[in-house]
Structure 1
Amino acid sequence: MARRPIRWLVPAMLVLVWLAVGGGLGPFAGKLAEVSTNDQAAFLPQSAESTRVLEVQERFREDATQPLIVVWTAGGKDVTPEQGTAATQALASLRGTGGVVGTPTPSIPSDDGRALQGVVQLGPEVEGSLGETLDRIGSAVAVDGLRVQLAGPAATRADLSDAFAGIDGLLLGVALITVLIILLAVYRSVLLPLIIIGGAVFALGLACAVVYFLADRDIVRVDGQVQGILFILVIGAATDYALLLTARFREELATTGDRFAAGRVALRRSFEPIVASAATVALALLALLLSSLTNNRALGPVGAIGIACAALSALTFLPAALVLLGRAALWPAKPRPADEAGAEGRGIWSRVASLVDRHPRRLWIATVLPLVGLALFAPQLNARGVPLDETFVNDAPSVAAQAALSEHFPGGSGQPAVIVAPAGRAAAVEKTADGVEGVSEAAVASRSGRPGDAPKVVDGLVLVEATLNDAPDSDAAQDTVRRLRATLAPENGVMVGGYSAQRYDTTETAKNDTLLIVPVVLAIILLILIVLLRSLMTPVLLVVTVALNFLATLGVSTLVFTHLFGFTGVDASVPLYGFVFLVALGVDYNIFLMSRVREETAHRGAREGLLRGLVTTGGVITSAGVVLAATFAALVVIPLAFLAQIAFIVAFGVLLDTLVVRSLLVPALVRDLDARAWWPSRLGRSEVGRESRELTEASR
């Protein structure tokens, strides 16, 4: 009797600890914005030529500034001289006002005479009130009869801040409500969905607190995109792990009737697949540290921390809460034992298992062929970056302003290519750059800021600004940058940077990162699967199938993005992010399935082990896939094309993996191989395996 109170003590203490964690650390989910940065320059490849140019530019600036481009348009009419004078006077009136550095440039008329533009340099002190500063400037430069719009890096940054505003509340709320609805439909229980969501929220609070601590000390870097992915990753992973453990607890509780025995067995049987799953995703994310892009490297440790916290919550808080509540956690539903009839029983997963058993070879061939067909479209995905007019899913003021600027001025106005050159070669570099195809004009930056004045020289270097014919975010502008670099290559000490060059360098770096990281991630996953499943054949099979699922998803995404969503390109990091998430998360479901299949095979043989494993895990894994797809789909509440693209790729890919690859393709392949799927482990050589093979041959 003395032991009875003690066995209640451990789960009670675990629940109390997690309640303290949730109460004490939960607010950090709303504080991550304090240590986040949406300065895209901070995420450029460190060794790229455009990054080195940016470092040189900093030496030319007396103050750290960001340009704001003011655009006036006359609505199809000519701008009058009086309006031009009024615009210049309005710009001059900004000198000395809050946030404005130096004297804004005078207004410049367009060649068609129907627009004006001017440049205002903003100081770093406006960071916390950028939107208010732009509103004030927009009102100050208003001119009768002209429409005023704000473009350039400062305006784009303000729109990015607006896009991420309230991300902690909106995104988290949408994700949790979505998960709650799915869990209520799956379990038909009152308390269990709330327990699972509570564990996910506790895990998120702990993860955000750790990330906040590290970001505040500049150990990791966080931006709005990383923050959004962290939220979704933790909620989705914690729920997935909880579904696996809860299903095993419900099964064991129905069999034994003892909540403590059921909790011990559920934890013991679920521990290995959950840890293996978490290790797969965490290590795949940490492989992003090999990237040369700072935002990729930022996601790696942040995401791995989130996954670790999700697994910790699922393996401690959840089993403790289930043991304390027992059958009450499932009310009004009742615990159900596993289907002892295996494939002969009733229900959808018994019918799927029966189909796999009868025609495995026909089934996997019929599944592989469409996947390969879809994968053939994957190379057509244009990953050279998202144009500015597609960056925001909704209409953003900076996008409309840039469109007006491009309509009346050369496409690259306001964001020229920046060429660093030795002062003694300034004139030659200017002349050479001016003659490159795609360059509208080139001029050496002057000390006064007015064209033709004495050049500004710093450390023996000058800046040559080359205005491009095409929009700075276009593929054509990137091609012009490549031509500029090739033409100026013979000039010693010359580098080409600027916005278009940054996009080009980011794209090329992302391609190199993908070639490096993809094989590393596949090797990590393969090693974990070999250790978990104690075989070689099945791990190789699983890695190949999830890779095929990724390529098929990329092929579908190519068609959907182009013909349905109207995207002309995707962010350079999207294919790599999609690969890491889909392959790592896709292996999760195969881990859940094949670890149960291996457990059953050891007792029942390869054939019965596969069928029983498929029947007993089918429902829970499908539910987990739907939950994860739904949580990633919640990213669309943030109106950015990058996150919308990631949301579609992961959501669609997870559903394809859950409903087709894991449910049909993998079981059919394993069934066709029979005990050989477990080579060279003892399951492939055992007496049980031989008996299974004999039954298989007889059935054929």
Structure 2
Amino acid sequence: MPRAPRRTRLLLPLALLAVWLVVGGGLGPFAGRLGEVSTNDQAAFLPRSAESTRVVEEQKAFRGSATVPAIVVWTARDGGRLDPGATVPATRAVAALTGRPGVAGPPSPALASEDGRALRAVVPLRPGLGDELPATLDAIRAAAASVPGTTVWLAGPAATQADLSGAFSGIDGLLLGVALIAVLLILLVVYRSVLLPLMIILGAVFALGLACAVVYVLADAGLVRVDGQVQGILSILVIGAATDYALLLAARYREELSAPGADRFAAMGKALRRSFEPVVASAATVALALIALLASDLANNRALGPVGAIGIVCAVLSTLTFLPAALVLTGRAAYWPARPKPAGTDAPGTGGAAAGAAPARGGQAVWHRVAALVDRAPRKVWVVSVAALLACAAYAPALDSRGVPLDEIFVNDAPSVAAQETLGRHFPGGAGNPAVIIADAPAAARVVAAAEGVPGVDSAFAVDAAGRPAPGAPLVVDGRVRIDGTLTGAADSDAARETLVRLRTAVHAVPDADALVGGSTAQAYDTQRTAARDRALIVPVVLAIILVILMALLRSVVLPLLLVATVALNFAATLGVSALVFEHVLGFGGTDSSVPLYGFVFLVALGVDYNIFLMSRVREESLRHGVREGVRIGLTATGGVITSAGVVLAATFAALGVIPLAFLVQIAFIVAFGVLLDTLVVRSLVVPALVRDLGPRAWWPGALSRRT
């Protein structure tokens, strides 16, 4: 059958290229506009069914809406005692803020500390101030500064929220710039090509623009929720995934171009046919693993699920449409000056196809030696490697995921942290950040008495409409009252959480009170328990999803079970190393409760990606040459491209470390280290050695299990 004229065959790639240029030009700016529809209000991400979340909802009836407290602290400039009369001007200063935009009600009077060295007052702010919050806090600081001879500090949830917003400001440009520069440099060094890295980067940027536009529309309609963390992870995920998939396709295209007299159109057709299944299967594992987060009871986990899946779909779409069009139009010039070599000029035993896969000739020689080692002593290789991974995994239980203390939320010094430390030196640890109890009005006195009898509770009192103590005439709304309990321990401490458990037990036991306990300590405690429940539910779901996809792709039962076991071992080993690094190198006292689940989803799903790339090629070669030779050829052919893909992905996730938040720094380390460990040890040594050792049995019950 005669081929279509050259001009006709160029129409489709030119049309695809034109479509993506329009997409990139029209939707690219949305990557910088997600901040318009994102929120960093942590109250919006509480567990749906938790007791603290019910308290937040009931609080709205007491002031029309829940409030975010800003705690003003005054200390003497000389570090000594304050004038006993300083409470009057301090009270007057904050009272003048009543009615100001952003202030939800009258501030509390200024109270002096027992040591006489500090004053504090609480200014209730409207939630969801967004960009108005810094200006509101500046106005509070300016008003409080009118008290002579004092230094003003702003603490509490409002100040922390402002510092969080500041940490995420400029996230779009900074994070994207760092990630793209890192990827570009790695590709230039590894592939020794000028045009190919630029095309891969451009495809990733187009995918990110499309993903951000879709997420923007959905978030604006209220269908998904975005915060700074989700926004940052989306950028990294799309850039990393799009680059990985593009490298696999580009390497396969280069192989096909290595055939004598190869035609670029026919070569791309073969490359697409042979890459389509592993790329789509790999993307499906990541996307479905992220979708599984919808089973979480934590709103930020549910937010990341669909947003991340949208990003993966856009990455695959760009890889299978834009990149083939660009590669076909440029042909061999895409790899200049390291153009594909003619077949037959490579090391013996690889064949022309394998020759084009490696990023560089030196790298190809390395993977010849690795494949030879695996082929010569497979059992020794996998036993030694697994033993090393188990030794690392032994430290995994040491990873403390009970939450990050307030003074460690920010990697760098933050004003709210210093203010909170100042507050804690002069007042009870929970001052200004009380445990909030909502109870039936007739039982208010008994609930207060029960709360005050709990060890770790400094004081408890029913409040009026302004949030002030009102033991005689508290505000009653729908038959309910609000009672504030001040804890002796800092709100984010283990002591406060233990007090919270005792407090809930005590007030729940009050007859006919229907008491609920919330507040920041309760929210942290409920989030921690919900995160543990989510891990127990979502981890098996993700493993089951991955197992089904692997069985469908590899037509085997034994091999998918081995692959899932190896990536799970890699995850455990990564957690063990992370526990040591976080405590002894980075100085973290704990990790956010969501870190283990995020790390699991990313590492297991992405780790399976590389095993899919490897084993789909091993299966292809095994059908031609037999199982033993298939392992050797598959590992040699894919070693360079998969390793470079792993290095790129690790570098993109490491870019999250530029945001000075402990949560993202921890995620960055876990994923970056875990991807490198998976790429260099699990996928390069453990998996091929196990398959080589088992032989055809690894492919049971598929057709390969019956071949010799």
TMscore range, shorter length: over 0.9
Q: CA deviation at 1:481?
A: 1.0
Alignment equivalent of 2:481, drawn from 462, 465, 476: 462
Q: CA deviation at 1:448?
A: 4.9
CA distance in structure 2 between the partners assigned to 1:613 and 1:672 by the alignment: 15
> Corresponding residue for 1:299?
304
Structure 1 pair 342/133, CA: closer, same or farther in 2 (3 Å)? farther
CA distance in structure 2 between the partners assigned to 1:377 and 1:396 by the alignment: 31
Which range moved further: 222-231 or 120-129? Answer: 120-129
Matches within 5 A, 1:646-657: 646-657=667-678
CA distance in structure 2 between the partners assigned to 1:656 and 1:633 by the alignment: 14
Query: Could you report, residue by residue, the CA deviation over 1:216-266 in whole angstroms, capped at 9, with x for unpaired residues?
Result: 111111111001000000000000000000011111112143211211111
Do 1:44 and 1:51's aligned partners in 2 also have CA atoms closer than 8 Å? yes
> Corresponding residue for 2:251?
247
Alignment equivalent of 1:202, drawn from 194, 197, 206: 206
Alignment equivalent of 2:433, drawn from 411, 415, 418: 415
Tell me, yes or no, if structure 1 residue 359 matches structure 2 residue 377.
yes
Q: CA deviation at 1:337?
A: 6.1
Q: CA deviation at 1:286?
A: 0.3
> Corresponding residue for 1:76?
79
CA distance in structure 2 between the partners assigned to 1:507 and 1:2 by the alignment: 62
Alignment equivalent of 1:222, drawn from 220, 226, 232: 226
Structure 2 gaps of 5+ residues are: 356-363
Structure 1 gaps of 5+ residues are: 690-700
Q: CA deviation at 1:454?
A: 1.4
Do 1:447 and 1:454's aligned partners in 2 also have CA atoms closer than 8 Å? no
SS at match of 1:132: helix
Do 2:63 and 2:465's aligned partners in 1 also have CA atoms closer than 8 Å? no
Structure 1 pair 12/343, CA: closer, same or farther in 2 (3 Å)? closer
**Partner AA of 2:664 in structure 1:** L
Q: CA deviation at 1:473?
A: 1.1
Q: CA deviation at 1:125?
A: 7.7
Matches within 5 A, 1:480-559: 480-491=499-510, 492=512, 493-559=514-580
CA distance in structure 1 between the partners assigned to 2:487 and 2:595 by the alignment: 27
Query: Could you report, residue by residue, the CA deviation over 1:45-71 in whole angstroms, capped at 9, with x for unpaired residues?
Result: 111111011111111113553211101
SS at match of 2:114: coil
Number of aligned residue pairs:
687
Q: CA deviation at 1:376?
A: 1.5
> Corresponding residue for 2:130?
127
Q: CA deviation at 1:433?
A: 0.7
> Corresponding residue for 2:442?
424
CA distance in structure 2 between the partners assigned to 1:379 and 1:396 by the alignment: 30
Query: Could you report, residue by residue, the CA deviation over 1:620-658 in whole angstroms, capped at 9, with x for unpaired residues?
Result: 000000000000000011111111110000000000000
> Corresponding residue for 2:604?
583
SS at match of 1:154: helix
> Corresponding residue for 2:180?
176
CA distance in structure 2 between the partners assigned to 1:319 and 1:99 by the alignment: 53
Structure 1 pair 101/497, CA: closer, same or farther in 2 (3 Å)? closer
> Corresponding residue for 1:568?
589
> Corresponding residue for 2:280?
275
CA distance in structure 2 between the partners assigned to 1:129 and 1:415 by the alignment: 22
**Partner AA of 2:94 in structure 1:** L
> Corresponding residue for 1:692?
none
Q: CA deviation at 1:85?
A: 2.4
Structure 1 pair 196/449, CA: closer, same or farther in 2 (3 Å)? closer
Q: CA deviation at 1:86?
A: 2.2
Q: CA deviation at 1:126?
A: 4.1
CA distance in structure 2 between the partners assigned to 1:100 and 1:469 by the alignment: 28
Do 1:446 and 1:453's aligned partners in 2 also have CA atoms closer than 8 Å? no
CA distance in structure 2 between the partners assigned to 1:565 and 1:343 by the alignment: 45
Structure 1 pair 133/111, CA: closer, same or farther in 2 (3 Å)? same
> Corresponding residue for 2:358?
none
**Partner AA of 1:426 in structure 2:** A
Q: CA deviation at 1:81?
A: 2.3
Which range moved further: 504-513 or 376-385? Answer: 376-385
SS at match of 1:189: coil
Q: CA deviation at 1:684?
A: 1.1
> Corresponding residue for 1:384?
402
Do 1:51 and 1:502's aligned partners in 2 also have CA atoms closer than 8 Å? yes
Structure 1 pair 292/101, CA: closer, same or farther in 2 (3 Å)? closer
SS at match of 2:477: coil
**Partner AA of 1:298 in structure 2:** A
**Partner AA of 1:41 in structure 2:** A
SS at match of 2:181: helix
Do 1:342 and 1:615's aligned partners in 2 also have CA atoms closer than 8 Å? no
Q: CA deviation at 1:446?
A: 2.5
Q: CA deviation at 1:187?
A: 1.1
Tell me, yes or no, if structure 1 residue 341 matches structure 2 residue 345.
no
Do 1:438 and 1:468's aligned partners in 2 also have CA atoms closer than 8 Å? yes
CA distance in structure 2 between the partners assigned to 1:311 and 1:450 by the alignment: 57
**Partner AA of 2:210 in structure 1:** L
CA distance in structure 1 between the partners assigned to 2:554 and 2:237 by the alignment: 25
SS at match of 2:476: coil
Do 1:99 and 1:125's aligned partners in 2 also have CA atoms closer than 8 Å? no
> Corresponding residue for 1:54?
56
Q: CA deviation at 1:144?
A: 2.5
CA distance in structure 1 between the partners assigned to 2:557 and 2:129 by the alignment: 58
CA distance in structure 2 between the partners assigned to 1:453 and 1:162 by the alignment: 42
Structure 1 pair 337/607, CA: closer, same or farther in 2 (3 Å)? farther
Q: CA deviation at 1:513?
A: 0.5
Query: Could you report, residue by residue, the CA deviation over 1:421-465 in whole angstroms, capped at 9, with x for unpaired residues?
Result: 111111111111111111111111134543245111111111111
Tell me, yes or no, if structure 1 residue 118 matches structure 2 residue 121.
yes
> Corresponding residue for 2:17?
15
Which range moved further: 227-236 or 129-138? Answer: 129-138
Tell me, yes or no, if structure 1 residue 108 matches structure 2 residue 127.
no
CA distance in structure 2 between the partners assigned to 1:449 and 1:300 by the alignment: 38
**Partner AA of 2:96 in structure 1:** S
CA distance in structure 2 between the partners assigned to 1:282 and 1:562 by the alignment: 32
Which range moved further: 464-473 or 62-71? Answer: 62-71
SS at match of 1:464: strand
Do 1:37 and 1:224's aligned partners in 2 also have CA atoms closer than 8 Å? yes
> Corresponding residue for 1:694?
none
Which range moved further: 397-406 or 340-349? Answer: 340-349
> Corresponding residue for 2:360?
none
TM-score (norm 2): 0.95
Matches within 5 A, 1:137-148: 137-142=140-145, 143-148=147-152
Do 2:59 and 2:65's aligned partners in 1 also have CA atoms closer than 8 Å? no
Do 1:263 and 1:323's aligned partners in 2 also have CA atoms closer than 8 Å? yes
**Partner AA of 2:71 in structure 1:** I
> Corresponding residue for 1:88?
91
Matches within 5 A, 1:574-653: 574-653=595-674
Structure 1 pair 564/125, CA: closer, same or farther in 2 (3 Å)? closer
Which range moved further: 79-88 or 469-478? Answer: 79-88
CA distance in structure 2 between the partners assigned to 1:96 and 1:488 by the alignment: 35
Matches within 5 A, 1:30-41: 30-41=32-43
> Corresponding residue for 1:681?
702
> Corresponding residue for 1:665?
686
**Percent of pairs with identical residues:** 68
**Partner AA of 2:325 in structure 1:** A
RMSD: 1.5
Q: CA deviation at 1:666?
A: 0.6
> Corresponding residue for 2:361?
none
Q: CA deviation at 1:84?
A: 2.7
Q: CA deviation at 1:92?
A: 2.0
CA distance in structure 2 between the partners assigned to 1:291 and 1:621 by the alignment: 32
Alignment equivalent of 1:450, drawn from 468, 472, 489: 468
